[in-house]
């Protein structure tokens, strides 16, 4: 089983939408990442309270800076939970 399939299998136990696919998991667009996070938060409570108001609506992110700010917060939260620095550049995530 490939990395994307393991990720899909894990998330499909939590929610059915957004749908997990190889294309989306290998090069996720911002909207997909946002939808994955909000679906996970809704089902598990992960990160509850970190994002509020418009940050919970994927349609409210109209510019690159607001998307970057969201990703930085999400990455920081994940680093805190796993207890180590994640080698990722949010700007490269947005670029695809």
pLDDT averaged over every residue in the chain: 92
- CATH code at position 57: 1.10.418.50
pLDDT band at 16 (very low <50, low <70, confident <90, very high): confident
Number of domains observed in the structure of the chain: 1
pLDDT value at residue 51: 94
Q: Which residue, among 42, 36, 17, has the nearest Cα to 74 in the 3D structure?
A: 36
Question: DSSP labels for the chain?
Answer: --HHHHHHHHHHTT-SSSPP-HHHHHS--HHHHHHHHHHHHHHH-TTTTTS-GGGG-GGG--SHHHHHHHHHHHHHHHHHHHTS-----HHHHHH-
Provide the percentage of residues in the chain whose pLDDT is more than 90: 80
Residue range(s) defining the domain that contains residue 88: 27-95
In a domain, 16, yes or no: no
Q: What is the pLDDT of residue 65?
A: 96
Query: Is residue 62 domain-resident?
Result: yes
Residue 72 in any domain: the answer is yes
Residue range 34-73, pLDDT digits in tens? 999 999 999 999 999 999 999 999 999 999 999 999 999 9
């Amino acid at each position: 089983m490939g990395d994307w399939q393991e990720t899909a299998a894990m998330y499909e136990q939590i929610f059915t939408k957004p749908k997990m696919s190889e294309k989306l998991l290998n090069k996720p667009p911002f909207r997909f990442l946002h939808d994955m996070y909000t679906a996970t938060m809704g089902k598990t409570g992960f990160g509850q309270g970190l994002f509020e108001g418009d940050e919970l609506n994927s349609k409210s992110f109209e510019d690159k800076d607001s998307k970057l700010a969201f990703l930085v917060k999400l990455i920081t939260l994940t680093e805190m939970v796993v207890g180590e620095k994640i080698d990722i550049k949010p700007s490269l995530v947005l670029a695809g």
